Amino acid sequence: MYNEFSKKFLWGGATPANQCEGAWQEDGKGISIADILTAGNKQTHRLITPQFNQQYTYPSHLGIDYYHRYQEDIALLADMGFKIYRFSIAWTRIFPNGDDVTPNEAGLQFYDRIINECLKHHIEPLITISHYESPLHLTFKYNGWLSRQMIDVYLRSCRVIFTRYQHKVKYWITFNEINGPTTDKGDFSSLGILNDHQHPSDYKEQTHHAQVRFQALHHQLVASAKAVMLGHSINPDFKIGCMQIFACAYPLTCHPDDVIQTMEEDHIFNYFTSDVQCRGKYPAYMSRYFKEHGIRIQMEKGDEDILKQGTVDFHSFSYYTSSCKSADPKKHRGDGNTIDGVPNPYLATSEWGWQIDPKGLRYSLNQIYDRYQLPIIIVENGLGARDHMTEDGSIHDDYRIAYLKGHIEQMHEAICDGVELIGYTPWGCIDLVSASTGEMAKRYGFIYVDYHDDGSGNLSRHPKDSYHWYKKVIASNGEEL
Ligand code: BG6
């Protein structure tokens, strides 16, 4: 039983390739689906433009120029005392088209440098294999994950990176936020399925028919299970995890209809994919859901065995917010990127409409651990907010410190409850482009990046107040908050 953060607790932070690397065509990189997403903001949704159009800005093309500044960035993470750093590998750096026969050596060398830099600073790398950036060529050729062919090309990439980094990397995640497409709010980034191959369209309106979404998800679940098996065959000590958006859900009232509504939404959004990945089979409640929604999953012979054998070693999730569920369809459903629900009257809300609920994190950790009894890493958490640099170059982000402090306190409570929480990698530890809005204005970092949505700024890095605070948190192993 734990009652404190273990001495080996993995404190760190997380960034993804497509929202920070930039260098979108350097050293042989191919075009990914993230590269055709335009900038947006709270009011204006991002667009998918199958053809590039000069009238738009594409934030992934420059990102925060991490490709050229990673040494400085990782040195800053090390200075904060990071024990672990979660980042993703851009599939299109390794296989520019996704289905190339041989990998792109220059792309691999970039990740050699990142990993070596981490190890030099005694930081454990945690790699997400697919984070919202599959190759665009595969969207045109196969319509993304709707095609079963994606499984093989994904595994080709897994084999290359597992083999190359087998002695350097222990922790892996197969897919970022795999459960996103279980809702009809799912966007384009996760499955790479495009409705219109010619014209710009709203990336939030790629709300495919449930049959399409769940079939594509089946392919990802099989790919994930096969990746786990492949990884373990290359190095049995690998720890390979699933990764979910966990949308902590409360009944809006104690009316039994609201409670049942919550149970049903919890099943489909919060548990379906992790039940498959952690327990190795489709959960019983999905039969009813598929029947009532006219969904027929095409499984191939052997799929059930693959799912059974390819269960994960740990559970990981992103946690930003919670929401309430109501059986009354007239109740307003609030905003969140893929999370929706009725706003909770007891909680404050961020400028981007995400409700702030640290206790929901303790509750979620307990729910997940009760269900799977697997080690857990919280791989995303944080507050997206506007930051302002004062004339003397400081950034006073006390609101972010308050948010993170509240969540770390509840992590500690969950550990006292007996939850095997082994790590914490807050989101966007360096400011980067927002995924849902495609803007720089929504910042999460401990490190400020001098770059703005109008293209101004010199991309220089500056520690915020939260940087110095988090450094103390890590140094005191979570005691000094
Ligand atoms: C998660 C994604 O959904 O939330 C990240 O894994 C994303 O890619 C993060 O950036 C925060 O969302 P946003 O929209 O504020 O960037």
Report pLDDT digits (tens) over 174-183: 999 999 999 8
Could you tell me if the CB of 32 is within 6 A of ligand 1?
no
Confidence grade of residue 17 (pLDDT, cut at 50, 70, 90): very high
Q: Which residue has the CA at smallest separation from atom 12 of ligand 1?
A: 435
Please determine, for residue 334, whether its predicted confidence score (pLDDT) is greater than 70.
no
Which atom of ligand 1 is found nearest the CA of 338?
A: 3
CA atoms within 13 A on the CB side of 362: 16
Confidence grade of residue 332 (pLDDT, cut at 50, 70, 90): low
Q: How far is the CA of 380 from the centre of ligand 1 (A)?
A: 8
Please determine, for residue 231, whether its predicted confidence score (pLDDT) is greater than 60.
yes
How high is the pLDDT of residue 335? 56
CB–CB of 356/407 below 8 Å?
Answer: no
Tell me which of 20, 434, 440 to substitute to probe ligand 1's pocket, judged by most ligand atoms within 8 Å of the beta carbon. Answer: 434
What token pair was written down for 309?
């054998």
Cα 156–chain centre separation: 22
Residue 192 class from Cβ within 10 Å (0-12 exposed, 13-18 middle, 19+ buried)?
buried
Q: Is 26 a catalytic residue?
A: no
Could you tell me if the CB of 16 is within 6 A of ligand 1?
yes
Percentage helix, strand, coil for the chain under 3-state DSSP, each rounded to 5: 40, 15, 45
Please determine, for residue 187, whether its predicted confidence score (pLDDT) is greater than 80.
no
Cα–Cα separations (whole angstroms), residue 373 to 3, 244, 412, 418:
17, 16, 17, 10
Q: Is 480 a catalytic residue?
A: no
How high is the pLDDT of residue 341? 87
Q: How far is the CA of 436 from the centre of ligand 1 (A)?
A: 6
How high is the pLDDT of residue 1? 43
Mean pLDDT within 192-217: 87
Please determine, for residue 281, whether its predicted confidence score (pLDDT) is greater than 80.
yes
Q: Which residue has the CA at smallest separation from atom 9 of ligand 1?
A: 435
Q: How far is the CA of 36 from the centre of ligand 1 (A)?
A: 17
296 backbone dihedrals φ, ψ, rounded to 5°? -125, 115
Higher pLDDT, 336 or 142: 142
Report pLDDT digits (tens) over 448-463: 999 999 999 999 999 9
Please determine, for residue 163, whether its predicted confidence score (pLDDT) is greater than 50.
yes
How high is the pLDDT of residue 202? 87
Please determine, for residue 266, whether its predicted confidence score (pLDDT) is greater than 50.
yes
Task: Measure the CA dihedral 276/277/278/280, to 10°.
Answer: 50
Residue partners of 173: CB distance under 8 A and separation at least 6: 86, 126, 127, 128, 129, 240, 241, 242, 243, 316, 379
Q: Could you give the angle at which helices 210-234 and 149-164 cross, rounded to 10 degrees?
A: 30
Q: Which residue has the CA at smallest separation from atom 15 of ligand 1?
A: 434
Report pLDDT digits (tens) over 52-88: 999 999 999 999 999 999 999 999 999 999 999 999 9
Q: How far is the CA of 428 from the centre of ligand 1 (A)?
A: 8
**Of the listed 117, 133, 265, 380, which one is catalytic?**
380
Could you tell me if the CB of 224 is within 6 A of ligand 1?
no
Which atom of ligand 1 is found nearest the CA of 354?
A: 15
Cα–Cα separations (whole angstroms), residue 82 to 9, 261, 337, 426, 447:
11, 41, 28, 11, 13
Q: How far is the CA of 125 from the centre of ligand 1 (A)?
A: 20
Confidence grade of residue 203 (pLDDT, cut at 50, 70, 90): confident
Mean pLDDT within 242-255: 97
Could you tell me if the CB of 337 is within 6 A of ligand 1?
yes
Please determine, for residue 427, whether its predicted confidence score (pLDDT) is greater than 70.
yes
Q: Which of 402, 392, 376, 373 lies closest to 466 in space, CA to CA? A: 402
What percent of the chain is predicted at pLDDT more than 90? 90
Mean pLDDT within 115-136: 98
How high is the pLDDT of residue 186? 65
How high is the pLDDT of residue 149? 98
Residues β-bridged to residue 421: 376
Residues β-bridged to residue 342: 324
Please determine, for residue 338, whether its predicted confidence score (pLDDT) is greater than 60.
no
Please determine, for residue 313, whether its predicted confidence score (pLDDT) is greater than 80.
yes
166 backbone dihedrals φ, ψ, rounded to 5°? -60, -25
How high is the pLDDT of residue 329? 85
How high is the pLDDT of residue 333? 66
Could you tell me if the CB of 183 is within 6 A of ligand 1?
no
CA distance 448 to 462: 5
Report pLDDT digits (tens) over 250-260: 999 999 999 99
Could you tell me if the CB of 435 is within 6 A of ligand 1?
yes
Could you tell me if the CB of 425 is within 6 A of ligand 1?
no
Q: Which of 368, 339, 366 lies closest to 352 in space, CA to CA? A: 339
Cα–Cα separations (whole angstroms), residue 298 to 147, 334, 335:
11, 34, 33
Number of H helices, E strands in the chain: 14, 14
Task: Compute the mean pLDDT over every residue in the chain, rounded to the nearest whole number.
Answer: 95
Q: How far is the CA of 288 from the centre of ligand 1 (A)?
A: 31
CA distance 263 to 241: 25
Mean pLDDT within 416-432: 98
